């Protein structure tokens, strides 16, 4: 069930709960509240500021990640480093570049970077 936020239409006339925003769990088909359930003051539904991070990974990026992991698991550090390095240049991913540098070091290349 969704969580909706409400606030008093006239904050100076509301109670402590509705002067600020308060949440109510309601079914999607239920009518919005018109009065505060605590004091009866008129309220309105407000848009929630939902903060979420959704990171979508392309199919190509997922394949590269999988291949790099496979190389690392097998101890094939230079293969993992070269793949991560070339792909990081293509997509401008600094964390993948760092990973490539770490794999180069594991492969015995100390002066890379």
Q: What is the pTM of this model?
A: 0.51
Domain ranges for the chain: 3-46, 59-106
Closest CA to 101 of 81, 87, 86, 83: 81
Q: What percent of the chain has pLDDT over 90?
A: 58
Average pLDDT per 10 consecutive residues for the chain, totaling 113 residues: 86 87 86 93 84 73 94 95 94 91 91 66
3-state helix, strand, coil in the chain (%, to 5): 45, 15, 40
Reported as half-sphere exposure (CB side, CA atoms, 13 A), residue 2 has a value of 12
Q: What would the pLDDT profile of 82-100 be if each residue is shown by its tens digit?
A: 999 999 999 988 889 999 9
Q: What is the pLDDT of residue 51?
A: 55
The predicted structure's pLDDT at residue 52: 57
């Amino acid at each position: 069930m969704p969580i909706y936020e409400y606030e008093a239409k006239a904050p100076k006339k509301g109670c402590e709960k509705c002067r600020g925003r308060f949440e109510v769990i309601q079914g999607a088909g239920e009518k919005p509240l018109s009065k505060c359930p605590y004091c009866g003051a008129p309220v309105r539904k407000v848009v929630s500021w939902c903060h979420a991070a959704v990171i979508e990974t392309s199919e190509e990026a997922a394949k590269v990640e999988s291949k790099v992991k496979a190389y690392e698991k097998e101890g094939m550090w230079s293969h993992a480093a070269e793949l991560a390095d070339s792909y990081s240049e293509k997509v401008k991913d600094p964390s993948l570049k760092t990973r490539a540098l770490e794999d180069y070091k594991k492969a015995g290349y100390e002066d890379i970077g």
